[in-house]
Amino acid sequence: MAHNTAVEPADLEEALSEMTSEKIVQFTNGFFALTDEGNRLSKHWKNLLTKREPILEFIAGLADGTITSLAIVLSALLANLPSRTMLWIALLGLSAVSVTNFSSFMLGSKTEDIADALSLRALMEYSVNDILDKGERTKSLRLVGDLFSILRRQRTRTNLRAALTCSITTFFVGVLPVVFFSALTSPLNVFFSFGVIGAMLVILVRYRAEKSKVHWKTTLMETLAIIAIAVIISLIFGNF
């Protein structure tokens, strides 16, 4: 095992000793375990390196689903479309948006990850090359290579999960108001469909405010402005 790793047992013991003194890990019953502070820091590092927390994809799914359903419901009201026609158009539109979101997140995330990894690896290798001892430098370079192999596998799984999260969220958030609008009679269909859209907007605003640490009123104004512009442009293009 020692021949397959660039980390020496003595270096590992020293690192664990330092982490114990900093109360990041604790030694209990012959095993090292993360403390509460260690778990908190570990979560932040995992989110940073592997993008495990689905912030962007969840927000994009909520926003795209809300915008698409709102544009479809408003178009159906303005054009007085039959329920069957509206439902068919909605399913086609939401399916197209969901598939586009899936492919965009997969391709975009993959490209971004490669660019970030190349930049980070170049910086780390530049720092490692300053080590004068050839043996230590070689071990450090091997460790950098192993690290990025692990990150590449983790990021691939994260990208797939992110693409699925965004596409599925887009479809289900968008289809619920449309189903209510087409299945219920007037005026209940309008009430329930816009009620669902309003609930999704509340979730979107609260989630954005929580993650960005910005006051919900500021986030609400930003969200409403962006969605209003997108819906108005969609309605304008839909009339051509």
Q: pLDDT, tens digit, for every residue of 13-38?
A: 777 777 777 778 887 776 777 788 87
User: Which pLDDT score, from 0 to 100, does residue 197 have?
Assistant: 92
User: Is the whole model's pTM more than 0.95, yes or no?
Assistant: no
Positive or negative, the CA dihedral 74, 76, 77, 83 is: negative
Output the pLDDT for position 55.
79
**Mean of per-residue pLDDT scores for the chain:** 80
> How much is the pLDDT for 1?
41
What pLDDT score was predicted for residue 6? 54
The strand pairing partners of 27, in sequence order, are: 32
Q: What is the pLDDT of residues 212-240, one digit of tens each?
A: 888 888 988 988 898 888 888 877 776 65
Dist. CA 69–CA 64, nearest whole Å: 8
Calculate helix-pair angle for 134-183, 36-50, nearest 10 degrees.
80
Is the omega angle on the peptide bond into residue 187 within 30 degrees of 0, that is, cis?
Answer: yes
pLDDT category of residue 150 using cuts at 50, 70 and 90: confident
Given a contact cutoff of 8 angstroms between Cβ atoms, the answer to whether 155 and 113 are in contact is: yes
